[in-house]
Amino acid sequence: MNLITDVKALFKRAARRLPVVRDYAAERDGLRAEAARLRAAHDRLREEHGAARAEADRLRAEIGARKPIRPEVGTVHPFELDLLRRLVAETDHLPGPIVEVGTLLGVTTTRLALWKAPGRKIVTVDNYSWNPWGLAPDEHLAVASQVLGYLVRTGHVEQVVADKGAFFRVYDQGPPSLVFLDAVHNYEQTKADLDWARRVGAAAVAGHDYNHLHPEVVRAVDEAGGPRRLCGSVFCL
């Protein structure tokens, strides 16, 4: 062996190993690319999972905030209806409409419609700002419109979607034969409702929630002369 032979042998060995080295570099680059791809997929999945969990939490909160719809809640109790029924009968000969302030689902509206003379009209007004079941205003309006659909289409009921203050300002259907007030139960609003009913010359003025649970209604009604008749919490001036 001489130096030249040694160098030749070395070159031969190196030439034999070159493809292995090249394969290793390609393998390493491939694995790096795969790792980057998997990392990106993992990040995307984590983001999607977070969004799905947030949506699930939102839906759970929305469902939890709602209560089962029981139509008897938020309306006049059956034992309080007697006075309302008598007031409808006593004013049935008068030409003006029955005006209900606060429709909710139309439960009392429907009862008034059952008792009244066929040609007599009911105007019921609501801005759909409150209900005891956590319904959104558009859902609340949709349910009330469905309940009152037949009565509205047959002309027995006019369903007004408005704030009562705005309704009072534009009302032009003559002195109501009966007004039933059942919207907001604080002093200022009850007083404003009673003042409007008197101003437009309502023949009978009634309302709901004259009891110890609503002291501001009691105060406003007492200042207006107090209830001439009372049945449960339904009063008539």
Ligand X SMILES: C[S@@+](CC[C@H](N)C(=O)[O-])C[C@H]1O[C@@H](n2cnc3c(N)ncnc32)[C@H](O)[C@@H]1O
Task: CB nearer to ligand X: give 97 or 102.
Answer: 102
- The CA dihedral of 28, 29, 35, 36, to the nearest 10 degrees, is 160
How many amino acids of this chain bind ligand X (CB under 6 A)?
A: 21
* Cβ proximity of 190 and 184 under 8 Å: yes
Residues 129-158 that bind ligand X (CB under 6 A): 129-131
Q: ∠ CA 188-192-194 to the nearest 5 degrees?
A: 120
Tell me the three state secondary structure of residue 192: helix
* Cβ proximity of 168 and 196 under 8 Å: yes
Interface with ligand X (CB under 6 A), residue from 184, 205, 217, 231: 184
Task: CB nearer to ligand X: give 42 or 146.
Answer: 146
| One-letter identity of residue 55 | E
Q: Which of 112, 78, 106, 116 is nearest to 231 (CA)?
A: 78
For residues 44 to 73, the per-residue mask of contacts with ligand X, x marking binding by CB under 6 A and - elsewhere, is: ------------------------------
| One-letter identity of residue 54 | A
183 near ligand X, rule: CB under 6 A = yes
Task: CB nearer to ligand X: give 158 or 163.
Answer: 163
Closest approach, Cβ 54 to ligand X, in A, equals 31
* Cβ proximity of 134 and 65 under 8 Å: yes
**Other C-beta atoms lying within 10 Å of the C-beta of residue 216:** 16
164 near ligand X, rule: CB under 6 A = yes
126 near ligand X, rule: CB under 6 A = yes
| One-letter identity of residue 143 | V
For residues 12 to 31, the per-residue mask of contacts with ligand X, x marking binding by CB under 6 A and - elsewhere, is: --------------------
Interface with ligand X (CB under 6 A), residue from 97, 102, 176, 207: 102
98 near ligand X, rule: CB under 6 A = no
Residues that bind ligand X (CB under 6 A): 74-76, 100, 102-104, 107-108, 125-131, 163-164, 182-184
